[in-house]
Chain A
Amino acid sequence: MVASGAKTMRDSDREDLQLHRRLVAGDRGAFDELYRRYSPTAYGIAYRLTGQQLLAQDVVHDAFLALWRAPEAFDATRGAFRSFFLSLVHHRAVDTIRREERIRARQDRAANLEPAAGEDPSERVVDDDFVARRRSEVRDALADLSAEQRQVLEMAYFAGKTQVRIAEELGIPLGTVKTRTFAALRKLRRALETED
């Protein structure tokens, strides 16, 4: 899955920037290429959070449509396009599940990173080599967190739970949730920085 000695993060980010410039100019080909690059990851995370195909489709649809309608919202001085867009997808997915409280029951499985039952991770998804490498790095970095740190991070990110709710469910003070969350992200950041 991972090609060696191939594209770097900088290469990938540079290509994204070029595509974004074309997108700003109204180039639909650039839109399609960004869709090709990011829709599987976007759909994967949207489905993971919402647990429903239709909701996940709406999340991805709305995120790409927002990108087309307001491409200038991405500011390259504030980070990589990948970060911008995947944050957009995640935020919209979180908003969706908070609105759709009735699907909460499906979130139990969101606390682990295994594919959901009946879900086809799809052999057809072929990542760019950089993305494939990055996936492996992120998973390794997550696995290196303490169980307590990983737990709060997974509940917040993969289940879209608020810190207040996490504190209630775990029976720990809100301040502890905040501290663990920041510590987890800091450790992840350091691990991923060394991989960059």
Chain B
Amino acid sequence: MDRPGSGSPPGSRPDAEEHERIDELLAGYALRSLTGEDAAEADRVLSHHVPDCPRCRETLLALSDTVADLALAVEPIEPPETLLPRLHRELEPRGARPAVGRWAGVAAGAAVVLIAGGIAISQGLRAGDLKSQNDLFAQALRYAQRPNADNARLVGAGATDPAPVSEVAAPDVDYFFLIGSDVPPAPSGQAYGIWLSNGVETLFAGTFVPGPEVTVVKVPFDRSRFDRVLITLEVEGTVPTQPGEAVWEAAA
């Protein structure tokens, strides 16, 4: 019979046997122990079947909860005392954090608007958000005026297509900006993820939520650890632990 997520016609319902197979797949997924075709099949099931199947949604939730509880079987250990201060140093103010969906509403020609000393209150933005957005965009403008700042357009992963996102970086600064212009929305059920990479390890740096016209994101990073930035497609509403499909990339 058709397998959910692997080409089954929309609206077709898996039988009990097929659901048992999906249960096993979801168990492996919850444990992060799938590879190869099983992992690809799980992705398909999660994208095309689970969202519309109450039974499987409930099963996935129950399996995920159970797997998470396994962490409690291990003796807790206090982390080194240096870890929290290290985190504190990297907690950028919320208004400047990389996930700046609220930034998305900056009106067309934001630079012009800023120069004019105001900003259009549109796209449902709150006044408090607007101030931080103004501040952030002003930061980006000042940053771009540094003598050693470099403005480069990202390219399509594995291709030379120019991306609708540019990066403004400077070699002596531990953050950079991503500036998107008319970035298309991510496909349904997906979101753009920002990743830092050094070719060996990757670190999720937040989400890139494009607005209707201009989107600006400030990305703090450890320059000694990472040298590339990727924008990927991730499952919406999750914090991914490994990069999804790369869409655009550039040296950081």
Contact = CB atoms under 8 A, between A and B. Distances in A.
Interface of A: 25-26, 28, 31-32, 35, 39-45, 47-48, 53, 56-57, 60-62, 64-70, 72-75, 78-80, 82-84, 86-92, 94-95, 99, 113, 115, 119-122, 124-125, 127, 131, 134-135, 138-139, 142, 153, 156-158, 160-164, 166, 178-179, 181-182, 185, 188-189, 192
Q: What bracket does the count of chain B residues touching chain A fall in?
A: 35 or more
A189 B77 contact: no
B47 interface: no
Given A47-B77, A70-B207, A134 B69 contact: yes
Contacts of B68: 79-80, 82-84, 86-87, 90
B80 A57 contact: yes
B114 to A, nearest CB: 23
B90 A79 contact: no
A27 to B, nearest CB: 9
B225 to A, nearest CB: 10
Nearest to A62: B203
A28 B94 CA distance: 9
Q: Lowest 3 CB-CB distances: which A-B pairs, in order? A: A26-B94, A40-B76, A83-B68
B227 to A, nearest CB: 17
Given A66-B239, A79-B64, A83-B64, A45 B71 contact: yes
A156 B64 contact: no
Contacts of A122: 76-78
A61 B67 contact: no
Contacts of B74: 41, 44-45, 48, 113, 158
Interface of B: 23-25, 27-28, 30-36, 38, 61-80, 83-84, 86-88, 90-91, 93-95, 97-99, 101, 200-201, 203-207, 237-239, 241-242
Contact of B201 (A99, A115, A127): A99
A166 B32 CA distance: 13
Nearest to B86: A61
A138 B23 contact: no
Nearest to B94: A26
B73 A113 contact: yes
A73 B28 contact: no
Given A64-B87, A78-B237, A90-B71, 11 more contacts: A25-B94, A65-B90, A70-B98, A75-B237, A90-B32, A94-B32, A113-B74, A121-B76, A162-B34, A182-B27, A192-B66
Contact of A73 (B72, B80, B84, B238): B238
12 contacts: A26-B95, A41-B76, A65-B87, A70-B204, A72-B101, A87-B30, A119-B75, A122-B76, A125-B78, A135-B72, A157-B31, A163-B28
